[in-house]
Amino acid sequence: MNKNLEFVSDLRTVVGRLIKKLRKESATGQQLSLTERSTLSLLYQHKAMLPSGLAAMEKITNQSMSTILNHLLELGYIIRTASKTDKRKVHISLTIDGERVLLKMRNERDQWLAKAITQTCSEHEQELLKQVLIPLTKIVDFE
């Protein structure tokens, strides 16, 4: 394996392990799937969306999104509102409980990550982590 592919493989492994670790560090988020948590985040960011738009952004089928939305509705995290201009369309948005649980999950993960960084990384390493955010964001945004 050439050096670049070795680096890429190591980066993928470390990022994947960090994501798994962060998922476990939110007791609140344990009751939700990754896609359900991501759907809550999209709704928080966009305020209201059509189910088809959510499915497209999550890269899943409309049927799978329907299952996710039904579960989130049962939990009281979302509401469905008929479109004022087209009664066939339904807009999905967060309830107060949905927003509260999303922010709690984020806070739990952020608290754990902040503690992990301060307890394991030198000041220099912390600065390196800040600098790597720019190229990592470029990678995430790459299509």
pLDDT in tens, 78-87: 999 998 888 8
pLDDT in tens, 73-126: 999 999 999 988 888 899 999 999 999 999 999 999 999 999 999 999 999 999
Question: For the packed helices 123-141 and 96-120, what is the interaxial angle rounded to 10 degrees?
Answer: 130
The answer to whether residue 143 scores a pLDDT higher than 90 is no
Residues 40 and 93: their CA atoms lie apart, in Å, by 9
CATH of the domain at 75: 1.10.10.10
pLDDT at 81: 95
Q: How many domains does the chain have?
A: 1
101 three-state secondary structure: helix
Q: What percent of the chain has pLDDT over 70?
A: 99
Domain that holds residue 72: 3-141
